Amino acid sequence: MYDIIIIGAGPAGLTSAIYAARGGKSVLVLEANMAGGQIVNTPMIENYPGIFEIKGFEYTMNLVKQATDKGAVIKYETVTKMDVSDSEKIVYTNAGEYKSNAIIVATGLKRRKLEIEGEEEYSGKGVSYCATCDGAFYRNKDVAVIGGGNTALEDALFLSEYCNKVYIIHRRDTFRGEKEYADRIKNKDNISLVLNSEPVKITGEDTVTAIEVNNKETDESVILEVSGVFIAVGQIPSNGIFDKVLDLDEQGYINAGEDCYTDKAGVFVAGDCRKKKIRQLATAVGDGAVAALAAMEYLL
Ligand code: NAP
């Protein structure tokens, strides 16, 4: 029996854990994968106020240490369902069940698939969703990054340090990602932009050897010979298990306002899995604090 169970050990969940444990509550954090969520794979965080720059992994380790030093317990188990109908709530995992008086859902997002031919077949054989995890395997090779958001631009800059050539394949001619990244990319000799273009097919033998790309303006297709394809086309919420329990919007985000209250008493939501406009480290951490304080107020 815990005061608060937090589902998800990303920046939002771990911030909630720090606040709640520091507030004297017994806190269990349940995490299906490794702690940190998306930020653990971010090469360098440069826009978190007060920290000039820090590697995503190092930042995650700091969060984990801060939460556990304050008394939060982290268990690496997958939540399969939860029962929130009573004031005493039950969270079921692959390893057991836990009870609490309040729950904070902070399950974040997962990478969106491109859903083109060859993506599934070559996943792990040249197709990757994590440049920081897999980039080093492509030293001196040619690779492609798909997408035009901050993740794609960061991935391309990171890969350009290892790879011979990096193609950025983007479906428009302007980037959704920040200008600062776009400016840095312009100064990189080994990054080549393939704009107004959509990937059609990933091909290979045992591993990836090429990607076919269609130019939307000319309707011409080109084959780019690459050993790796890094897909960074956005994210989707991981809220499937809460479908019948919490109010989700049509895209699967949990409906809740800035106060982080869900439609169920004693259940709060924090971070990227909440319906919101801006998804940044700073806003996830802000949600984490708000949700923990709301949960503590509820417990009073
Ligand atoms: P994102 O901002 O949603 O960008 C996704 C990109 O993929 C867009 O350029 C989009 O094209 C493209 N795309 C989507 N579906 C596609 C498809 N089927 N085929 C081809 N291209 C497709 O996602 P993100 O880059 O993962 O970033 C997610 C959030 O995290 C954002 O809020 C971002 O600012 C934040 N983030 C921040 C930082 C940072 O602050 N340093 C770093 C990483 C991420 P269109 O532009 O045409 O829609």
At 92, which CATH number?
3.50.50.60
Averaged pLDDT score across all residues of the chain: 96
- 250 and 227 in a single domain? The answer is no
Residue pair 11/107 in contact (Cβ under 8 Å)? The answer is: no
In a domain, 120, yes or no: no
Does position 238 have pLDDT exceeding 90, yes or no?
no
- 94 and 165 in a single domain? The answer is no
Domain that holds residue 193: 127-231
- 25 and 84 in a single domain? The answer is yes
- Spell out the residues 6+ positions from residue 250 whose beta carbon is closer than 8 angstroms to its own: none
- 140 and 182 in a single domain? The answer is yes
- Confidence band for 133, pLDDT divided at 50, 70 and 90: confident
In a domain, 225, yes or no: yes
Cβ atoms within 10 A of the Cβ of 7, count? 27
273 is catalytic: no
Query: Does ligand 1 have an atom closer than 6 angstroms to the CB of 47?
Result: yes
Average pLDDT over residues 60-65: 98
- Confidence band for 42, pLDDT divided at 50, 70 and 90: confident
pLDDT of amino acid 91 = 98
Report the alpha-carbon distance of residue 265 to residue 239 in Å, rounded: 18
CA distances for 77 relative to 11, 71, 242, angstroms: 18, 19, 16
Cβ atoms within 10 A of the Cβ of 269, count? 30
142 is catalytic: no
163 is catalytic: no
The last residue of one of the domains, among 188, 208, 231, is 231
Report the side by side order of strands in the sheet with 197-204.
Answer: 197-204, 208-215, 221-225
Average pLDDT over residues 10-27: 98
- 12 and 42 in a single domain? The answer is yes
Average pLDDT over residues 275-297: 96
- 83 and 170 in a single domain? The answer is no
- 3-state secondary structure at position 199: strand
Which atom of ligand 1 lies nearest, measured to the CA of 114? 18
In a domain, 262, yes or no: yes
The last residue of one of the domains, among 231, 254, 274, is 231
Give me the half-sphere count of Cα atoms (radius 13 Å) on the Cβ side of residue 207: 13
* Residue with CA closest to ligand 1 atom 16: 233
Report the alpha-carbon distance of residue 54 to residue 290 in Å, rounded: 24
Residue pair 100/86 in contact (Cβ under 8 Å)? The answer is: no
- 50 and 79 in a single domain? The answer is yes
- 202 and 265 in a single domain? The answer is no
In a domain, 121, yes or no: no
Question: Annotated catalytic residue: which of 69, 133, 259, 263?
Answer: 133
How many angstroms is it from 183 CA to the middle of ligand 1? 17
Higher pLDDT, 243 or 60: 60
Among 4, 11, 53, CA closest to 29: 4
- 227 and 239 in a single domain? The answer is no
Question: Annotated catalytic residue: which of 3, 134, 155, 287?
Answer: 134
The last residue of one of the domains, among 185, 207, 231, is 231
In a domain, 118, yes or no: no
> For the CA atoms of 48, 49, 54, 60, what is the dihedral angle to 10 degrees?
-60
Domain count, the chain: 2
The string of DSSP codes covering 10-49 is SHHHHHHHHHHHHTT--EEEE-SS-TTGGGGG-S-B--ST
- Phi/psi region, residue 36 (left: phi>0; alpha: psi -120 to 50; beta: rest), is left
- Predicted TM-score (pTM) of this structure: 0.85
The tokens for 241 are: 């298990």
Average pLDDT over residues 252-273: 97
pLDDT of amino acid 59 = 97
Does position 43 have pLDDT exceeding 90, yes or no?
no
The dihedrals phi and psi of 53, each to the nearest 5 degrees, come to: -160, 145
- 139 and 211 in a single domain? The answer is yes
- Confidence band for 132, pLDDT divided at 50, 70 and 90: confident
